[in-house]
Structure 1
Amino acid sequence: MILFPLIPAPAPITSAGMMVIGQLLGLIFLWSFVDMMWPTFLAIILFGLRAKEIYPNSWQINSIYEAGAQSFGNWIVVFALGCLILCVALEESGIIKRIVMKFITSKSARTNAWMFSFMILAATMVISLFMDCVAAEFFMLGIVHEIFDMLGFKKGDKWPKYMVIAITFTVILAFAMTPICHTSSILFMGVYSGITGQPANILGYMLIGIPIGLIIWIGMLLWFRFVVKPDISHFDTVDFSLLESKCPGKMEKKEKIVAVVSLIVLVFWLVPGFLSFLAPESAAFLLLDRLTATTPLFFAIVFLAIFRIDGEPILDLKSAFKKVDWLSIVFLAGILMIAGAMGEETTGIGAFIASVIVPLTAGKSAFILVGLIAVLSCIITNIANNIPVGIILVSVTVPIALDAGINPFLFVVAICIGANLAYTIPPAFVPIGIAYSDEWCEGKKVFLNGLVMTVISCVVLALLMYPLGNLVLGV
């Protein structure tokens, strides 16, 4: 992290770009094998020494303030904090326990441990298809953490560890499968529309993304079921009749209010995604788009903190802040600081990626070209952040597709899917950072299984992207 910037930078990467790469490599090592908290603060200090080179037009007087703005000042950190606080309200009101008890005492869940696991992951997939990945992950992890405790698992046990990883990978796959409430895909398609002047084919995207995502997801399930095979013998000792006796009774006023407020927030999260392609010019969409997903979330927190029952607030914020997982917040801050810098022109990293890709596409058939773009998107996004990777690749490859006489939107779909399948390191995608910092999980296991998921995804993308894309969109 200190000496990497002294290495001569291969053009077009700049010295500042080498600093960012050094920070990335150092943090991956320290987060995986040493500690997750203090390396982030060290990175902010070191980043601050060179931040002016990356953001030369910043209004900040001192670069360390720029480092703070790029880390703890990122909107995703604020959004994640809001999600964690709302999760505290859901937990304290008893809603999460009610959902958990309904789930774990269901007929399907009792069949066997594997069906139990599948039901959790299937529920994760369904809600993640139409919900922001960070919110979906926090919600599902809140539920499974309660399940781990109720079933008597201990931190370090294999099944909980792999359930956290599987939930994270499921959220990521769902994020890649549809653009509804999934901002990066919408952003990539916006770049495409800006270049071509053509609107994005949302339905075509989904008709390709959903089948490909489901096939990769099935591959993930088979990997965990027949290769990883986490020890689930603990389920043989679970007394479901005892669990049933602990099911909560009638909903009380506090639980009802928290449930209604949370559902309203969910509606505010979901509606803009549908309006974005049903009525993108409507006043309702423009208003909700301006509010962003964070505004209704914090309105809900304020309401729950103000509204009182028997003189007590529904949500005691002082108490809630003590229950927030601050490790996740600090971790996210470090991830986003590095990930954002990788996409800046001043680092030269994006230009370097583009210079590598363009020669690879020369003289290739449509089948090879589309598969290659999809695979490269998936590989690169696992060592760099998905947002700059997607923007760079769309900007570079759409003109290539037009020159080759191939439907450029097929390239865009390949990039939207591939660039969002980041499973390995925290700076690649926020859900991975959340898994690394989860108390029931382990960063090294996320990384190793992420490598397997990358291979599975690349194989599926290489074989199916062109045939399915050609069937839906035509070349």
Structure 2
Amino acid sequence: MKKKIKSSYIHFVIGMAIMIAFRFIPLGVLPNVTKVGLQVMGVFIGTIYLWSTIDPTVASLASIFMLTFTSFSTSSNVLMSCFGNPTVVQLLFLMIFMGGLTNRRLTVYIARWITTRKMIEGRPWVFTFVMLLGTYVMSVFIGAFAPIFLFWPVLYGIFEEVGFKKKDAYPKLMIIGIVIAALIGFPVPPYMSNGLALLGNYRGLLNNFPALMGMEGALISDASYFIGCFVLGLLLIVVTVLIIKFIFRPDVSPLKKISIEMLEKNPLPPMSLSQKIYGIFLCIFIFIMLVPSLLPNVPILSFLNQNSLVMPLVLTCILTLLEFEDGPVLKLNEVMGKDFAWATFFLCTSAILLGSVLTNEATGITAFLNAVLSPIFSGMSGMMFTIVLLLMAIILTNICNSLVIGMILQPVALTYCVNAGINPAPIITLLIFTVLLSAACTPAASPFAAMMFGNKEYLSSGDVYKYSTVFVLIEFVIIIIVGIPFINLLF
């Protein structure tokens, strides 16, 4: 423990040194980057280093703190831009709402329902599909962490019951497959976490590109984004099962012993009134976040669409006020203490702030990126540009934080779209979807990937590298062959 603490101190000092040292680089070394831009780049690179080496909450707070000491703006304005950002406020109440689902154990009931369908008995590949589809659906509507924490223990018990050994290929593939399925669902909801942050960043960036702002279809509606990504996600889940069955070909014969009784060994108590009400509010929440943007001209739906930012706050207030024998439906104090993902919140908050500062005209960083990348993209067709951009996203997201990579690549995509005179909405949709779902191949790629590398009971690092790389490469091929034409057709 002492060595670990000392190591984190050393990494923290190195990260802070990177943040400070960049401001002393002579102007002109990086074309178009201003003095402010050098300071901001230092904070950005130092933050990436800290995210990869120490507690992400400390790294994120250090990032916000150091940005207040740049010449970009006053400390009060930086903090206002950070915590006063509408996307950050929406994210806060969304995460409280989702934390309440875990606190009220609705996730456990949902997982139990998914895993106890009669059709899985004696059918190994139906069981595999149901587990991965259940993970995907829970990731979309509840969050990516919940199905991993719920289904991994379920799988451990099943493997032991039917006679699998930990070194067998099928258990390894399913442990990794659950994370891959969760990652596929992770970018789908436009109202949660990183998907929300990247869509919010894109909508803010459009103001700096007036030629695109007036283009029909440039604004991405939540409903269009959700439909496109959800359908693509379903396809990728089917492909994931096919990869396991036909490429890796594990022995699944022990699964023919599986039965519903085996999965229902520990029956759950009947749902309480509070749990039922929370489930109803979850359905209301999903309706409010998606349907109004499909029908924005219907009077009531138009009002909900225009006020979608505050709806999570309204639902949170109502659930906190409603109280029964077992206390408030949403136990706010418990949620904030146990079930709120503070590390994720501060990481998203600092990444949103960094993204807006990095792409600000005063830094010159966007101009620098365009100067470096324009010769590469010059003369490319829209299809070829999209393929190269997505390939860059996959490589970079497995080196550092996918949210920041998405924010850095967005202005590059928008600049290309201005020069080429094409609608950015399909490219940005595919970029957000791809950059978030492909963060699986290295421990630094995402917390979900780190969980795989940390599962030493079933997986070696070599297993994760080998299997996850194959999954991500085939996902990339499917997105190119099916995703690009489908999303262009949708938009």
The TM-score, its normalising length taken from structure 1, stands at: 0.70
Name the structure 2 match of 1:196. 214
- Are residue 86 (structure 1) and residue 101 (structure 2) matched? yes
Corresponding residue SS for 2:143? helix
Q: Tell me whether 1:413 sits opposite 2:426 in the alignment.
A: yes
Task: Give the distance between the partners of 1:447 and 1:80, measured in 2 at CA.
Answer: 31
SS in 1 for 2:433: coil
Give the CA deviation at 1:87: 1.4
CA pair 319-412 structure 1, distance change in 2 beyond 3 A:
closer
| 1:308–1:97 Cα change, 3 Å | same
In structure 1, give the amino acid aligned to 2:473. V
Query: 1: CA distance between counterparts of 2:88 and 2:394?
Result: 25
For residue 233 of structure 1, report the CA deviation from its aligned partner: 8.5
Separation of aligned partners in 1, 2:283 and 2:405: 25
Pairs within 5 Å for 1:158-197: 158=172, 161-172=175-186, 174-175=188-189, 184-185=198-199, 188=202, 191=206, 195-197=213-215
- Give, in angstroms, the shift of residue 230 of structure 1: 8.3
Listed as ranges, the matches of 1:341-352 within 5 Å are 341-344=354-357, 345=360, 348-352=364-368
- The aligned counterpart of 1:104 is 115
Letter matched to residue 99 of structure 2: L
Q: 1:335 to 1:401 in 2, by over 3 A?
A: same
Q: Cα 1:81–1:25, aligned 2, differ >3 Å: closer, same or farther?
A: same
CA pair 266-467 structure 1, distance change in 2 beyond 3 A: closer
Given the alignment of the two structures, is residue 355 of structure 1 paired with residue 371 of structure 2, yes or no?
yes
Asked if residue 11 in structure 1 is aligned to residue 24 in structure 2, the reply is no
Change (3 A) 1:56 1:465: same
Distance 1:316 1:237, change over 3 A: farther
Counterparts of 2:452 and 2:375 in 1: how far apart (Å)?
A: 41
Letter in 2 for 1:27: L
Aligned to 1:329: 342
CA contact (8 A) 1:85 1:321 kept: no
The answer as to 2:35 corresponding to 1:22 is no
Q: Judging changes above 3 Å, is the alpha-carbon distance between structure 1 residues 150 and 28 closer, same or farther for their aligned structure 2 residues?
A: same
CA gap of 1:155–1:70, structure 2 versus 1, over 3 A, is farther
Aligned length: 435
**Any gaps of 5 or more consecutive residues in structure 2?**
1-14
Please say if 1:455 is aligned against 2:473. Answer: yes
Say whether residues 1:400 and 2:434 are aligned partners.
no
Aligned residue identity for 1:417: L
Structure 1 residue corresponding to 2:380, chosen from 347, 361, 364? 364
Which residue does the alignment assign to 1:123?
134
The one of 292, 298, 304 equivalent to 2:310 is 292
Deviation of 1:302 after TM superposition, in Å, equals 0.5
Q: Does residue 56 of the first structure (1) align with residue 110 of the second (2)?
A: no
1:17 to 1:232, Cα distance in 2 relative to 1, 3 A: farther
In 1, Cα distance between equivalents of 2:245 and 2:51: 28
Change (3 A) 1:188 1:319: closer
CA distance in 1, matches of 2:363, 2:466: 29
Q: Which residue of 1 aligns with 2:11?
A: none
Match of residue 143 from structure 2: 136
Assess, with a 3 A threshold, how the Cα gap between structure 1 residues 216 and 350 changes in structure 2: closer, same or farther.
farther
More deviation, 450-459/392-401: 450-459
**Farther off after superposition, 106-115 or 434-443:** 434-443
Of 404, 407, 410 in structure 2, the residue corresponding to residue 388 of structure 1 is 407
Contact 1:424 1:446 in 2 (8 A): no
1:241 equivalent in alignment to 2:241: no
**1:357-393: per-residue Cα shift (whole Å, max 9, x none)?**
3222322345434544554455556655265246414
Between the aligned partners of 2:479 and 2:352, the Cα distance in structure 1 is: 25
Residue 119 of structure 1 deviates from its aligned partner by: 0.8
Distance 2:294 2:60 in 1: 40
Amino acid of the residue matched to residue 419 of structure 1? I
Which position in structure 2 is the counterpart of 1:276?
Answer: 293
**Aligned-pair Cα RMSD in Å:** 4.8
1:302 equivalenced with 2:317 (yes/no): no
Residue 265 of structure 1 and its aligned partner are, at CA, apart by 3.3
The share of aligned pairs that are identical, in percent, is 15
Residues 12 and 351, structure 1, Cα contact 8 Å, conserved in 2: yes
- C-alpha distance after superposition, 1:119-163 (max 9, x if no partner): 13223445666x4xxx33255346426635765879998467425
Tell me, yes or no, if the aligned pair for 2:32 and 2:367 is still in contact at 8 Å.
yes
**Contact 1:137-1:168 at 8 Å conserved across structures:** yes
Q: Which runs of 5+ in 1 are unaligned?
A: 31-35, 403-407
Question: In the aligned structure 2, how far is the partner of 1:29 from the partner of 1:183?
Answer: 20
Q: Deviations over 1:193-229 (max 9, x none)?
A: 9523413587987887566555544444444556677
Q: Return the alpha-carbon distance in structure 2 between the equivalents of residues 10 and 266 of structure 1.
A: 50
Distance 2:406 2:103 in 1: 30
- 8 Å contact 1:100–1:147 — kept in the other structure? no
Once the two structures are TM-superposed, the CA of residue 78 in structure 1 deviates from its matched residue by 5.0
